[in-house]
Structure 1
């Protein structure tokens, strides 16, 4: 820093203010200091900064699968907010395994991240209590944290399913099937709940063969689709997430009669496929969770909150087909 100050003709404090983005430096002086930094190849000593401020200017994000379009949009939004707050983002995928989630969370904490955003795979997050007591901020997103007091940012999952089912009902369908993810996953359970509530409100008893929950691999989804759309089967199918929707779209043309379709989650090319969807806002969820995390890191000590973000129906034709 002394070399930068000498090259720019300013004091050490001025260089420090420019490097740390602090106010009180004119644009001309800032430009001169930045030019000296470039010429000399100066790099900020983050180790000294950590010791001085007690912060690492980094956060961790644990999600299910970075390859999922929903989580890709979510993580990009978190990264944007982290950059706005001069922080680095570290990302890990839990692959829906509770032990992997815990391993990643504790590994990030061991590297002294300031905070964590977690999309839970596990059902007991008390392992984070020593970290939160040590000052690590934690926000759970998409699914709530379990057995721990923390902030949560969720979608209105049950309400979204109700919207989708009611839309199918308005188009004359009464035999409506539901293909969802593993039932222990919070979002899958909430969406199934919304489906059942909408059917009950319409006075329709759900037959056992109308609901299929399980892994989202294409073979399982295709088999359940064929089973529930057989003779006298359902005339419409609600897909519980984007992976189920993609598997259904791949299999539906092999059916003797094409059912009406609606999916929970929008995804790339869904519009070209004409798939009606109940759309979440993954980027909005990511921004909300990240801003809340940095709000906590800035010293907010208010009560923990649970935020439910709205979803909305996008009709594109597939759900508007009349019953066969």
Structure 2
């Protein structure tokens, strides 16, 4: 009899925001994999101030946990006796498998794509710098530019903040001609700002992570797409292997990203 057979046949899935298209796709795939194994999934959105409370709740009810860490330090997870798999971000202080996208390479490819269109003033709009994904994507951007960054704004929390930041980098003394937006929420703010300014056909944009209707806008939004389904499937399969007795060392599994040209990233100087 396996470990899965002996326990509650329930796992916890704690994601940053299950309303985000990326998280929703991860959730759907994890649930499909779990259903095939006869396992239930308890799902919740997570924020930094709720993380320990939600983990404590999962600890009482679940045999394993799939988690997008809201904070880098995850030492409190030592109290969780079941296996843990991190998705999307790395974590400190926890001995667990991690499933992440190729964030550095994806951001570098997006930046090189903009450079190929003739752009040299490429702005970077990023989310919270304490998050490993934000740091990795910024590192990829810098790598492609040879360390010569354009205008940059970090710690953007929502689309409204990204919209304001976009206006600022376009109205400066040496305005950007292209923008790399580090996640799909930021990309939405960038698109709104460009449309408000009437510059959606003059300023190039590549967004990290896809979002619904991105291909139907004018121009369509060029994105670095994460394979959310593969991330969710890999996370679930990895967790079930651990629940079934795999005692091997923690693994980091990187899922490739794909650049999808749709128009906004192909605007030339």
With normalisation by structure 1, the TM-score equals: 0.78
Between the two proteins, the alignment pairs up a number of residues equal to: 262
**Equivalent pair of 2:72/2:131 in contact (CA under 8 Å):** no
Q: State how far apart, in whole Å, the 2-side matches of 1:206 and 1:123 are.
A: 25
Counterpart for residue 244 of structure 1: 186
Residue in 2 aligned with 1:287?
233
Unaligned runs of 5+ in 2: none
- Partners of 2:193 and 2:103 in 1: CA distance: 25
Q: Deviations over 1:112-131 (max 9, x none)?
A: x1100010012222222232
1:117 alignment partner, SS class: strand
Q: Map of 1:1-324 to 2, 5 A cutoff?
A: 54-95=6-47, 97=48, 99-111=49-61, 113-132=62-81, 136-200=82-146, 205-207=148-150, 210-230=151-171, 231-255=173-197, 257=199, 258-273=202-217, 274-323=220-269
1:92, CA displacement in angstroms? Answer: 1.2
With structure 2 as the length reference, what TM-score do the two structures score? 0.93
Q: 1:173 deviation in Å?
A: 0.6
Between stretches 181-190 and 247-256, larger displacement belongs to 247-256
CA RMSD of aligned residues (A): 1.7
1:214 and 1:126 map into 2 onto residues whose CA distance is 24
Q: After the TM superposition, which segments of 4 or more aligned residues of structure 1 sit over 3 Å from their partners?
A: none
Query: Secondary structure at 1:319's aligned position in 2?
Result: helix
Question: How many Å separate the matches in 1 of 2:157 and 2:91?
Answer: 23
1:112-152 deviation digits (Å, cap 9, x = unpaired): x11000100122222222323xxx11111101121121100
Q: Deviations over 1:19-39 (max 9, x none)?
A: xxx9xxxxxxxxxxxxxxxxx
Instruction: Output the CA distance in 1 between the equivalents of 2:46 and 2:154.
Output: 21
Q: 8 Å contact 1:60–1:117 — kept in the other structure?
A: yes
Work out the CA distance in 2 between the residues paired with 1:218 and 1:84. 37
Question: How far 1:74 sits from its partner (Å)?
Answer: 0.4
